[in-house]
Amino acid sequence: MQSRLSGKVAFVTGGSRGIGAAIVRRLAAEGATVAFTWQSSRASANELAASVGGGTLALQADVSDPAALTEAIDEAARALGKIDILVNNAGILLLGPVASFSLEDFDKTLDVNVRPIFVAAKAALPHMGQGGRIINIGSCNADRMPFPGGSAYAMSKSALRGLTQGLARDLGPLGITINNVDPGPVNTDMNPEAGEFGESLHALMAIQRHGTAEEIAGMVAYVASPESAFVTGASLSIDGGFTA
């Protein structure tokens, strides 16, 4: 693995499992020192930090709590000296028909999938200089929601696109880029390939399989690297042709 990120410090939200854990491993493999948040699985977080090594820092924080998220970012910057790369990965998937979907779940979707991206970007800015990278994990459902019950989730990921485009204008003069990586179906415990939706999703895709967390992490590593310096305000699909 090339050390494209040697000397860089990365902060990943929701990094203890699934796509987040793959991102932590990939950024570390490319030379970055990584801090990541976890919410409920201390054992998994500690195991990941130990397996990655290299000063990897696991911090407990609920991203829906602005104070807790800001403090985690500040703590990582104090411990590691700076933040060069912010990956907003934490998210939730709450599904249900509009007639029975609660306002509480609607608000929770926004509180986890949208607001923390703004909070984290704002908190990271004092610790981030020229060449900084902010990367948000969005979803192909911002473009296409092919089944009922996903309106709130699709809305949250579409909102993330508008936020990213707006922030790109604010951050560009500071030498900081911000982009979305929009996965399609990925084989994680949130959306297992062998789950009830697997076959129906594959029928909608050009490449008829789930992606892997490592494939998403590879796209994130590119957007985090010096090679992507001219990419900002973009939403980069990695969805097996789900939206083709």
pLDDT above 70: residue 200: yes
- The answer to the question of residue 1 being in a domain is no
Q: What is the number of other CB atoms lying within 10 angstroms of the CB of residue 202? A: 16
DSSP state of 226: G
8-state DSSP, 25: H
d(CA 17, CA 189) in angstroms, rounded, equals: 9
Could you tell me the residue range of the domain that residue 219 belongs to? 9-236
Percent of the chain residues topping a pLDDT of 70: 99
The count of other CB atoms within 10 Å of the CB of residue 206 is 11
242, part of any domain: no
Cβ atoms of residues 179 and 231 within 8 Å = yes
Alpha-helix residue ranges (DSSP H) falling in 53-183? 66-80, 103-113, 115-124, 151-171
The number of folded domains in the chain is 1
**Distance from chain centroid for Cα 188:** 14
- pLDDT, position 2: 62
Q: Is residue 3 part of a domain?
A: no
Looking at residue 13, which CATH number applies to its domain? 3.40.50.720
Q: Is 153 a catalytic residue?
A: yes
Is residue 85 a part of any domain in this protein? yes
Identify the burial level of 90 via C-beta atoms within 10 angstroms of its C-beta, where 0-12 means exposed, 13-18 middle and 19 or more buried.
buried
Taking the C-alpha atoms of residue 222 and residue 211, their distance in angstroms, rounded to an integer, is 17
Does 241 fall in a domain? no
Rounded Cα gap, residues 199 and 22, in angstroms: 24
pLDDT of 2-27, one tens digit each? 689 999 999 999 999 999 999 999 99
Question: Residue 185: inside a domain, yes or no?
Answer: yes
Whether residue 92 is contained in a domain is answered as: yes
**What is the pLDDT at residue 189?**
81
pLDDT tops 60 at residue 1? no
| Set 153, 179, 211, 213: catalytic member | 153
Beta strands 57-60 and 177-183 are: unpaired
Q: How many residues does the chain have?
A: 244
DSSP annotation of 223 reads H
| 66 located within any domain | yes
Q: Strands, E, within 2-68: which ranges?
A: 9-12, 33-38, 57-60
For 51, residues 6+ apart whose C-beta sits below 8 A from its C-beta are none
Q: pTM for the complete prediction?
A: 0.96
Span 48-80, pLDDT tens digits: 999 999 899 999 999 999 999 999 999 999 999
- Please tell me the distance from the alpha carbon of residue 73 to that of residue 120, in angstroms, as a whole number: 7
